[in-house]
Chain A
Amino acid sequence: MAENQQLIEGNQTYASLDTVIGDVVLDQRRHKLPWLTTFGIASIFALFVLPLTLAWLLYQGIGVWGNNIPVGWGFPIVNFVWWIGIGHAGTLISAILLLLRQQWRNSINRFAEAMTIFAVMCAGMYPLFHTGRPWVAAYWLLPYPNIMAVWPQFRSPLMWDVFAVSTYFTVSLVFWFLGLVPDFATLRDKATNKFAKYAYAIPAMGWRGSHRHWHRYEQAYLILAGLSTPLVLSVHTIVSYDFAVSIVPGWNVTVFPPYFVAGAVFAGFAMVLLLAIPVRALYGLKDLITMRHIDWMAKIMLTTGLIVFYGYNLEVFYGWFSGEKVETALMQWRFYGPYAWAYWLLIFCNGIAPQILWSPKARRNIPIVWTVSFIVTIGMWLERFVIIPMSLMRNYLPSSDRMFIPTFWDFSMFFGTIGFFIFMMFLFVRFMPSITIFEMKDLLYKLGADKKPQSDAVGAGEAH
């Protein structure tokens, strides 16, 4: 119990928690130049670069990307897998750590859940536009009776993917919104500005904190966490099936599902750290997202990083042990081919750089943790690049080998979605409570109940 004292720093009370968290939203003057600058730059990408790319893409067709035959899955699928992986940390933090009763999650889960939702939005754009004409693709993506009397092919992993990702998005959204309802009520009651009061009253839906409501609410919240846990594992497993079920060399590996899931968590925690570190500094949330949180997230990053690195080694082993000529050739292509720099950079980013986190000193050094997270984020992108286009460039038939060279529009869409993500995250930080207020109060109560005697007249012996 003693170690938990560092979960909330400073002399906090219920009211001060409201102030620390709520005022980021209610006192709009707190959003100064750093917010405006970042938001401004992000909006250029979100509102200008991304729509322009999409417009050009729809007008011209997906030939504007570097995709070719045999590399049908270039940047769009690399970015899709990258984004969806980033989203997974949100669900892991909010659901799995809730089930494991890891109370330290309380101050980062809301933030991470928001990240999940925006990351899945970014991810969703890619396969949708990769179809070229999304409105035409509807009939083979969604099972609805259409005039052509054809249906989607349910035996295809790509169909499973459609169901997995759309379920994941819906359930994450529901989970996130349910978590927000009591906090909206707090903001509604705390707001002095009339407009803000109305704006928060509507999503609060009349929440009044009745114990009967809390009772059902907690049941539902816990079961949703229980549902999200197998869901998040299934989503990235199914994403890995997109590859592992095929016979493309480098893809047809049984280690893919666990290694993809670990990679997703790895990338996700890196992104949480990447964003939470500046936000906690800018908005005075250092008492709530403490060094202890950063230390633990760094540890999870290190652990999942090791699993991922094990996956890389296993791929190499498989390349040799399978005895398949194409598999061996593919590994050599990764080691020495024209994109060898990407492979070795990947090994550096995901295999070597995170090892510094073994040192407790490094885990508690903000610039180091932030830099490692940045390197890991790049590394995880490279991982998908190494797996997807690099495996497709060389195949069973040497005559159809072809280089993949990304174009300007590949990059503009990629940076466009990064801009969109930051754009949404910054709007979220400004208009919604980025830390779950009621869970922090609950945590404060649980941590403080035994050591902060506030009133002596009460003998609540039977309550516990």
Chain B
Amino acid sequence: MSHAPIAPKIYGMVAEFETPDQLVHAASRAKEFGYTSIDGHSPFPIHGMSEATGFKCNLVPWIFLVGGILGGLTGIALESYVSILDLPLEIGGKPLFSLPSFFPIMYECTILFSALAGAIGMMALNGFPRPYHPIFDCPGFERASQDRFFLAIEADDPLYSEIETRRFLAGLEPINISVVEEEE
């Protein structure tokens, strides 16, 4: 029954909790149990959730770094090209390549590129904008952005089974357990 490709495709099973601590506890228990496709949903970032579920992603800082380096290089390249090659103007005896004067714009370009790359990169890694997601069909999920904490065990998890997963989640004493279908 559990893995049969029946008509409404299942997204996963979702348990609703009342406190953040319960959610973290549930997530770490789920990980101990062997589940790998776990997703927690909370109205605010809970420190310890990533550790509890074993989620690691340090790509965002690297995007910022690369963006910043590219920005700085763009800044100095623009200034050098303009001031040395395309429009060499000698003013006040200053050298064509006047690094101290070029520094502020280089600096601002570094910050601008880094911030834009990082912000856009973060949103892209998170897959936004994504107006629809199956979890939105979970009953009561509108409270995930308000005062409830949800743990989803996704159906693509190898350990997922309608009966076993429900039993496991029930053991965590949630307020509610619901099976969420995927549309289409």
Contact = CB atoms under 8 A, between A and B. Distances in A.
B25 A463 contact: yes
Contacts of A211: 27, 39-42, 45-46, 49-50, 53, 55
A331 B125 CA distance: 58
A18 B132 contact: no
A14 B112 contact: no
A442 B44 contact: yes
Interface stretch (A31-39, A60-68, A159-167, A261-269): A159-167
A14 B43 contact: yes
A30 interface: no
Interface of B is mostly: helix
A154 B128 contact: no
Given A14-B147, A220-B118, A212 B45 contact: no
A185 B57 CA distance: 23
A441 B147 CA distance: 9
A449 interface: yes
Contacts of A210: 39-41, 126
Interface string A210-248: 111111111110011001101100100010010000000
A445 interface: yes
A15 B146 contact: yes
Interface string A1-45: 000000000000111001000000000000000000000000000
A367 B81 CA distance: 57
B167 interface: no
Nearest to A237: B104
A138 to B, nearest CB: 16
For B111, B118, B133, the residue with the greatest tally of chain A CB atoms inside 10 Å of its CB is: B111
A219 B98 contact: no
A458 B18 CA distance: 11
B42 to A, nearest CB: 5
A223 B128 contact: no
Given A154-B101, A211-B50, A227 B145 contact: no
A135 B116 CA distance: 26
Contacts of B24: 460, 463
Contacts of A454: 18-19
Contacts of A442: 44-45
Contact of B86 (A151, A188, A223): A151
A449 B47 CA distance: 13
A160 B102 CA distance: 9
A396 B60 CA distance: 54
B64 interface: yes
Nearest to B87: A151
A196 to B, nearest CB: 14
A438 B43 contact: yes
A205 B128 CA distance: 6
Interface stretch (A107-115, A170-178, A315-323, A384-392): A170-178
Contacts of A224: 115, 118-119
A189 B146 contact: yes
A164 B109 CA distance: 9
A136 interface: no
B126 to A, nearest CB: 5
A185 B41 CA distance: 12
B111 A171 contact: yes
Nearest to B152: A210
Nearest to B146: A18
Given A189-B145, A190-B142, A164 B104 contact: yes
A185 B145 contact: yes
A206 B132 contact: yes
A182 B45 CA distance: 10
A459 interface: yes
A17 to B, nearest CB: 8
A78 to B, nearest CB: 23
Contact of B115 (A163, A174, A241): A174
B129 interface: yes
Contacts of A209: 41-44, 144-145
Interface string B81-107: 011001101010010001001101101
Interface in A278-334: none
B16 interface: no
A190 B146 contact: yes
Interface in B103-159: 104-105, 107-109, 111-112, 114-116, 118-119, 121-123, 125-126, 128-133, 135-136, 141-147
13 contacts: A154-B102, A174-B115, A185-B145, A186-B145, A188-B145, A190-B142, A209-B145, A214-B49, A216-B57, A219-B122, A449-B21, A454-B18, A458-B22
The 6 closest A-B pairs by CB, nearest first: A14-B147, A460-B21, A205-B129, A189-B142, A220-B122, A214-B45
